[in-house]
Amino acid sequence: MAAITEPDALPGRLSQITRSAPEVIATAELRIETGGEGFLDITAETQRFLAEAGAQDGTFSAFLRHTSASLTVQENADPDVLRDLVSALRHLAPRDFGWVHDAEGPDDMPAHVRTMLTGVSLQIPVLDGRLQLGTWQGIYLIEHRATPHRRQIVLQFTGSRAGKNADASLSTRPKML
């Protein structure tokens, strides 16, 4: 709640500015069982977290608590894209590179490299309780290890809360995006 739209649109390519009050930081943990190497869509779980948290306007962030899996935002339409992304990661960080670290199996060190290249945290803006993803974007956990693993993701929302009376100094506004 608690958001306004500027009365006059800005010139140029910048839209009107929406303002809200930072009212809450909501944090939860999402536990995922992966099926081995590949992409897992966690967009629906993320949107559910935002609904449960009563999120209105603000920022969603996710942090993966591991070093051999990662998080990314990628195409949600053609599954071939995700298959090709796995091929690309295998090519960029192959098993047979002559890694020094091999105590945890031949798939472990490539998994660390792939994690470094893709990252363990991501942030997405939220308006009216909805992730502001593009039409073709989904949120994915990428499992880089060959075998199934249990993964923990910390989900967080910082922003205004839905369903409250508007703040005295701020009023509601039409959906911007």
User: Taking CB under 8 A as the criterion, which residues in 31-90 touch a second copy?
Assistant: 31-32, 45, 48-49, 52-53, 57-59, 61, 63-67, 72-75, 78, 80-81, 83-85, 87-88
> In terms of CB distance, is 35 or 97 closer to a second copy?
97
Least Å from the CB of residue 12 to a second copy = 8
- Give Cα 120 distance to the centre of its chain: 9
114 by Cβ neighbours in 10 Å (0-12 / 13-18 / 19+) ranks as buried
Rounded-to-integer distance, Cα 21 and Cα 2, Å: 6
> In terms of CB distance, is 19 or 38 closer to a second copy?
19
| Residue 154 contacts a second copy per CB under 8 A | yes
111-150 residues in contact with a second copy (CB under 8 A) are: 112-113, 115-125, 127, 132-137
